[in-house]
Each structure stands twice: as C-alpha cells, then as structure tokens.
Structure 1
Amino acid sequence: MTRLVIAQAKSPLHSLISEKLREQIASGIYAAGEQLPSEHQLMEQFGVSRITVRRAIANLVNQGLVTAHRGKGVFVNEQRKVVYSLSNPLVFFDEDMARQGVTLSIRNLVFEPQQAPESVQHCLQLSHEQRDVYLQKKCLLIDQVPIMIDTTYILADLGAAYAADLQTRMTFPTLEQNGVAIVRIEATLESTHADHELSAHLEIPLGSPLMVYRYTAYTHQEKPILCGEALSRGDRLSYSVVLTKPIDS
C-alpha cells in the first residue's frame, strides 16, 4: 500500500493501515510473538500522523490480532484457528471446542418471543395459526475473541421453558440436558461477507469472508424443534467432514 493509494482511498486511513497490517500478519510477514514496527516507523511508512497509527493499532488490538505492551511495543498474537467436526455420531460445538482446549464463552444479543417469518414457519412445520417462536441471537467467543454470530428460532414452548439457560449456555446441550433429545441435524454450508452489523459484532473489516452454517434440528418422530444459521469468521473457524462409503457385504 503506497502513500498515494492511501491518500486517494475513501475509507478512513486508520482502517486501511490496519487492514494492510492484518494482511501482513495473515501472510506470515509478522509471525506470532514478533513485534510490529514502532509508531514512528509506521508514520514514516504510510505518511500519516501518530493518532492515525494509534487508531490502526487499536483496530488490530480489538480484533485480537496483537497485544500492546506499554513501553515495549506491539506484538502479534498467536492466530489460532479451530475446527468444528461435522461428525457422525453427532458432536456438539461446545464439546468439540473443549476437546481442542479452547475456552468458549457466549454473549447473548437477543432473546425474545415473536411470530415466525414465513421461511421459519415452513422449516419448523408450523401452522399459520400457531407461529409463535423464540428468536435468539448470540455471539460466540473463543479465548475471548468473537468468532461467530448464531441466530436460532426455537419452538415457543421450549424457549419459554428453558429461557434462563438458553441465554447463558449453548442451545443443543441445554435441550439435551433437559430431556429434549436431538436425533438428527440437517445442515448446509455456504459463504458470504460481513455487513456492517456483523463486522461490528465480530470485530472484523467490512466485507470480510464468513462461513454460513444453516441447520434444522429434529427430535424423535422427525419433529423439527429449531432452525437457524451460524455465521463464522473464516480466519478463526473451519469445518471438517468425514465421508464414508458403505462396504459391500
């Protein structure tokens, strides 16, 4: 990134600089534990003021990419990427994270009753007269770094019965521990990019790549009890799948 490109860009200078540094960290130019150039060096490199450099560094700190140590400098954090296994038998997300030794925490954003949108009504096989569901939106953090926004629509009776636990714990384990068995999950994977709301919640640049995991969970008698989608940071979470072919007898 040259001074000319920065001068002509429409985005804030500090965002452009932090994005350039983020790319350099991702490509390994600055490795985990390595110190970034000093404020003065960055001012010279990009031709900007000290306040602009400090805002750029603050962006990286907020994204969990670096840690600033007063009097010592700014150092690159280990960029750990976790993998969620879409396995059979089913392993829930929190179990998989615990197995990998990472700390999972939840930030509840929305939990409220509402009328199901038409797509959710169809997914949960609700009648037009009985469309009550609970909407939950939560942010999942791995080692205090936000990695996923999960939006779930759950049947109204389940949402009301387990409201307190659902707002502080993962959805599937909460239901299972209360006797609501999840016997099957249908899911699709696709990609998208972060809009303004997602970029703010996940502390990533606008337009960053996201993985979309859409799901519907069923209990016994093929009854759907919830559906939703999880949008996760492509730089912090990936999915793995094992495919097997039946052996001819």
Structure 2
Amino acid sequence: MAYKYKEVADKLRQQIKTGKYAPGELMPDQNQMARNFGTTRITVHKAIQQLVVEGMVYSKRGAGTFVRKDYKIDKSEFGVVSPIDKPLGATRTNEGKKVTSKIVELSARIPTKKEAEQLLIPDTEPVYVIRRVRYVNKEVFAYEHTIMPTSITTLTDDILKKSIYGHLQSEGLSIEGSHRVVSAKKADQDDIKTGIAKEIGEPVLVINQLSYLDDGQPFEISESHFPYEHSQIIADVTL
C-alpha cells in the first residue's frame, strides 16, 4: 500500500538534503506544511514522525519542528534505509536452519524518557522488556535486549521461543524497516553469561536498532550482541 505520508516524508527529506532547511533551523508548522503539500495535518504529522525516527529532525512541544543540528548531508547518514538495515531477525536470516531461543526475561514497565521519545509513545505507556539468547543449529547466534510497547501486541513465552517478527506479521502488521548503528565492544560479564564471549575483553559485534511499521510507528528498540568468531555484515552497494 502506498501511503501519502511517505510521499510527504520523501519531499521533506529532499528539502533538508538540498539545504532548503539548514541544521538547527525551525521548519514551517504542520498546518502550513499541509497546505503546501495539499494534504492533511495528520499526514504531515506522520511524515515528521518518520523523519524523527530517522534522526533527521526533532520536535519541541510549543516550539515546532527543527532540523537536527548534528544532521550531516552525506551518503553515510543514519537516516538512510539500506538492505543492511532491514529487520529480518534471526529466524528469517537463517531460513532452513533450526533457530531456538532461551528466554532470559519477559517483563513490563514504564519506559524511560529516552525510550518514550524514540518509540513516540506517552511516558506512561508500558513497554515490554525482552531478553533472549538466540541459537542457530544449537550454537549461540546472538543475545538480544529489546524494548517494545505493550500496545503493539501481546507477547508470551511461546511467542518469544519462536519469532517475534513472524508473530507481528501473522497479526497483519507490516514491518517497513529499521535504522541501525553497528559497532564493536569488549565483552563484559553479561556476554560471558549469555555465551556470546568466552573471556572478558574479547571483541563483540553490537547492533543497536530502532524498527518501525509501515504506518511510521516505531515498535522496537533493540541491542543485539554477536560472537566475533562467526559474525559478519554483508552489504551490496550500487553506485
């Protein structure tokens, strides 16, 4: 389905990239944007939410929407979704292999201020706290720490032992994409306990991810740790 908000988001993104709105600049209010694009304020609001998720703009209550001061116009910008950023998950990534999970935690709590801002939810809306160790063919694949609004879906131990993304899709939710930061760190005690590393200080691949549905709603903040021995990132680049 083609959403109007995506068209508006594309146009705003292009205006920012071409310098129409400079880093730190206040953008027109949403009613004015709606008139400019010949659409509704709700559609503009969703488009702006998309750019907030991408780290391109931020909104201040009572002040308006601003281009982030740290936004850089280049091809490595965090806000660009590329194939490497698709949130396929362990099950989809390892089709044809046996993927299992050990549940470390499934609980709910009130989000932190930062989590609420990232997920675009009220700071009183509960979130799930999910910790799992994922195995592929009985070998440790990843340790996942995920924060997800409870309003998105109902999760159980049985669902966590399988595929969360598969469950969301079975409920008719369409996952649009994600934004990732890939880094490396030295293993700590938690990495030892979960089997990601054998020794303190060993290298660990870390992927921090914010994922969203096709209506622009963020649904997941996650941090995944991977053993260095069999972890690699593959990207196809077309110039």
TM interval, short-chain normalised: 0.5 to 0.7
Q: Secondary structure at the match of 2:198?
A: coil
Indicate conservation of the 8 Å contact 1:151/1:228, yes or no.
yes
Distance 1:108 1:205, change over 3 A: same
Indicate conservation of the 8 Å contact 1:135/1:153, yes or no.
yes
Indicate conservation of the 8 Å contact 1:154/1:227, yes or no.
yes
User: 1 CA distance for matches of 2:219 and 2:130?
Assistant: 14
CA RMSD of aligned residues (A): 2.2
Q: Secondary structure at the match of 2:122?
A: coil
* Aligned counterpart in structure 2 of residue 94 of structure 1, from 91, 96, 102: 91
* Aligned counterpart in structure 1 of residue 156 of structure 2, from 159, 163, 166: 163
Q: Give the superposition deviation at 1:89.
A: 7.0
Q: Give the superposition deviation at 1:187.
A: 1.1
What percent of counterpart residues are identical? 12
User: 2 CA distance for matches of 1:89 and 1:167?
Assistant: 20
User: 2 CA distance for matches of 1:92 and 1:135?
Assistant: 17
Distance 1:91 1:244, change over 3 A: farther
Which residue of structure 2 aligns with residue 186 of structure 1?
179
Q: Secondary structure at the match of 1:240?
A: coil
* Aligned counterpart in structure 1 of residue 119 of structure 2, from 118, 124, 128: 124
* Partner deviation per Cα, 1:147-186 (whole Å, 9 max, x = no partner): 3110111111235x23244321122222112211101211
TM-score by length of 1: 0.57
Q: Secondary structure at the match of 2:151?
A: helix
Indicate conservation of the 8 Å contact 2:106/2:128, yes or no.
yes
TM-score by length of 2: 0.60
Which residue of structure 1 aligns with residue 192 of structure 2?
199
Distance 1:204 1:89, change over 3 A: closer
User: 2 CA distance for matches of 1:182 and 1:165?
Assistant: 21
Q: Secondary structure at the match of 1:95?
A: helix
Alignment of 1:151 with 2:148, yes or no, is no
Q: Secondary structure at the match of 2:168?
A: helix
Indicate conservation of the 8 Å contact 1:86/1:240, yes or no.
no
Structure 2: gaps of 5 or more residues: 1-81
Structure with greater Cα Rg: 1
How many residues align structurally? 157
* Partner deviation per Cα, 1:71-115 (whole Å, 9 max, x = no partner): xxxxxxxxxxxxxx95587644312212xx532211111000111
Indicate conservation of the 8 Å contact 1:211/1:232, yes or no.
yes
Indicate conservation of the 8 Å contact 1:92/1:173, yes or no.
no
Indicate conservation of the 8 Å contact 1:212/1:229, yes or no.
yes
Indicate conservation of the 8 Å contact 1:133/1:154, yes or no.
yes
Which residue of structure 2 aligns with residue 175 of structure 1?
168
